[in-house]
Amino acid sequence: MVTDNAATPGVKSFQCPACGGAITLRAGSQSLTVACSHCSSVIDTADENYQIVATSKMKERPTLLEMGLRGTLFGTKWEVIGYTEKCDSSGDYHWDEYLLFNPYAGYRFLVQNQGHWNFVEMVKEELPSYAGRVSTYQSEGLTYKLFLSDSSRVLYVKGEFYWKVRKDDTVKEVDYICPPYVLTIEGSGQDIVVSKGTYVEPSVIQEAFGLNSADMPRRIGVAMNQPSSYQGNGKAWGLFILATALALALYIVFLGLADKEKLAQDSRYFTYADKNRTYSTPSFTVKKTSNILIHTFSQVSNNWTEVAYTLVNDETQKTYDMLTSVEYYFGTDSDGAWSEGGTSSRDYIASAVPAGTYHLLYEVDSGYMTSVYGGTNSVLTGFEVIRDVASGGNLIWTFLLLLAFPLFTSLRQGSFESKRWSQSDMGVNS
């Protein structure tokens, strides 16, 4: 017995020819196949006699989105009318396809795969003969990359469908991606359909259909068309280049503006007798808050000199200490000539030294300053105290601080894309 549901136009009801249970067609005469919710038999609804296409011993099982559930997605109210569970050719990889219906907007699909969701609509596109066989495909001004070429098999059906569906139906499938979109070419020969999926955040689906967060499948890995939150870091690199250029320009300006004022200097031969002897410079004036650099030099040759400095503020007695060494070694070995170190060093003794009067204490020790050293027991050592010298170290720190963000996002983006393409049979791409 067939009845038209007067309360809901387009809705049609009949009895299952296999079990006699009541079946309601939510999309009315547009549905060509329906799976009985009582006995799971698949029935051809285009046939006047409601012929059974396939019988099933499987009981209907619950699905996350139940048949008849309604939700508003992208401004349209959709009703869930069909469900298929599919798997790939290996049988290891399963996904859910829900058929949505709206009497005015037609049909759409919601595909759930490892907690990732796609809203899919059919594309009325004339396919060139090479479609499905090339590595990139152009559509609507977008370039899609070939991601997967496989087949899909229907494992389970529930609800009604606008095409003739049955368990174990197998179809060839080629996926091209351009996140957040996926273009799927299904079928072969003349019977080819193209669909376009758009990645949807699970929270959007949850809200649209009023689902409990505990029921939502956990998102695993990266979906083939999942947009990366680190995408578009080209702008960050652009900003980095601009900021680095600005920092460099500032450094050049500060190099030019730096006073580089020499405050004190000394140089003398230090002997064994000078060991543990502390010398002092005359007092000098630091005119304004600035850094103070000491340039130390010592005539060492395959030897070392160490100088301990203490800068003392005459008024406050505040001190700044520094121990510096000058070492220069050279020679030849089986690889040829080698050398390391040098005869001078440049070190900042203090940062942002307040204006005032200071003197410098220094004490020298050296490998030369021994009582018996091959006849040579002195070393010429000296220094210059210079105020306000632009620091290259600050420029390097600035560069590193500017680099951190774009470098981090690029590494994350690389890792994200690597996870995405690890699922592709096209190998790693970008």
Partner 1 sequence: MKNAAYLIWCALVLCAFAYSNVYGYVYNSVIASQNPASKAANRYHK
If one asks whether residue 388 binds partner 1 (CB under 8 A), the answer comes out as: yes
Confirm or reject binding of residue 28 to partner 1 (CB under 8 A): no
Q: Which of 289, 301, 376, 415 binds partner 1 (CB under 8 A)?
A: 289
Specify the residue for token string 């689902």: 211
Work out whether 264 is an interface residue with partner 1 (CB under 8 A): no
Q: Tell me whether residue 43 or residue 350 sits nearer to partner 1 (CB atom).
A: 350
Nearest approach, Cβ of residue 279 and partner 1 (Å): 9
CB of 302 to partner 1, least distance (A): 24
| Distance from C-alpha of 365 to C-alpha of 104, rounded to nearest angstrom | 93
Give Cβ neighbours of residue 373 (< 8 Å, ≥ 6 apart).
367
Pick the piece of the chain touching partner 1 (CB under 8 A) from 113-121, 171-179, 214-222, 317-325.
317-325
Q: Which is nearer to partner 1, 59 or 235 (CB)?
A: 235
Minimum separation from the CB atom of position 414 to partner 1 (A): 16
**Does 380 sit near partner 1 (CB under 8 A)?**
no
115 or 238: whose CB is closer to partner 1?
Answer: 238
Q: Which of 324, 366, 381, 417 binds partner 1 (CB under 8 A)?
A: 324
CA proximity to 369, closest of 288, 290, 281, 304: 304
Q: Does 401 bind partner 1 (CB under 8 A)?
A: yes
Determine if 270 is a binding residue for partner 1 (CB under 8 A). Answer: no
| 361 forms part of the interface with partner 1 (CB under 8 A) | yes
- Give the residue, chosen from 236, 271, 284, 344, that forms a contact with partner 1 under the rule CB under 8 A: 236
Where does this chain touch partner 1 (CB under 8 A) — which range of 1-9, 100-108, 164-172, 235-243?
A: 235-243
Q: What angle do CA 265, 271, 277 make, to 5 degrees?
A: 65
Nearer to partner 1, 208 or 364 (CB): 364
How far, CA to CA in Å, does 152 sit from each of 186, 216, 239, 332, 334? Answer: 9, 24, 45, 70, 66
By CB under 8 A, is residue 272 in contact with partner 1?
A: no
The site that binds partner 1 (CB under 8 A) totals a number of residues, namely 51
Q: Using CB under 8 A, which of the segments 26-34, 72-80, 286-294, 366-374 binds partner 1? A: 286-294
Contacts of 372 (CB under 8 A, 6+ apart): none
The binder of partner 1 chosen from 322, 326, 379, 385 (CB under 8 A): 322
Sign of CA dihedral 152, 157, 162, 164: positive
Least distance to partner 1, CB of residue 377, Å: 20
296 binds partner 1 per the rule CB under 8 A: no
Taken in order 418, 423, 429, 430, the sign of the CA dihedral is: negative
Query: Is 323 near partner 1 (CB under 8 A)?
Result: yes
The backbone torsions φ and ψ at residue 316, rounded to the nearest 5 degrees and listed phi first, read -95, -15
Specify the residue, 84 or 290, whose C-beta has the smaller distance to partner 1.
290
Shortest spacing between CB 266 and partner 1, in angstroms: 13
Judge contact between 189 and 200, C-beta under 8 A. Answer: no
Judged by beta carbon, residue 162 or residue 251, the one nearer partner 1 is 251
Told to check if 309 binds partner 1 by CB under 8 A, we report yes
The CA-atom distances, in angstroms, between 160 and each of 79, 139, 163, 194 are 12, 31, 9, 21
241 binds partner 1 (CB under 8 A): no
Distance in Å, CB of 330 to partner 1, minimum:
25
Q: Which is nearer to partner 1, 256 or 427 (CB)?
A: 256
Alpha-carbon span 54 to 44, nearest angstrom: 9
* 29-37, 46-54, 108-116, 241-249 -> range binding partner 1 (CB under 8 A): 241-249
By CB under 8 A, the residues from 48 to 77 that bind partner 1 are none
Tokens matching residue 376: 């040579």
In the block, residue with structure tokens 């996140």: 179
Of residues 89, 118, 100, 88, the one with CA closest to residue 224: 118
Measured from the CB atom, the residue of 272 and 348 that comes closer to partner 1 is 348
Site residues (vs partner 1, CB under 8 A): 232, 235-236, 239-240, 242-243, 246-247, 250-251, 254, 276, 278, 289-291, 308-310, 312, 319-324, 347-353, 361-363, 365, 388, 390-391, 393-395, 397-398, 401-402, 405-406, 409
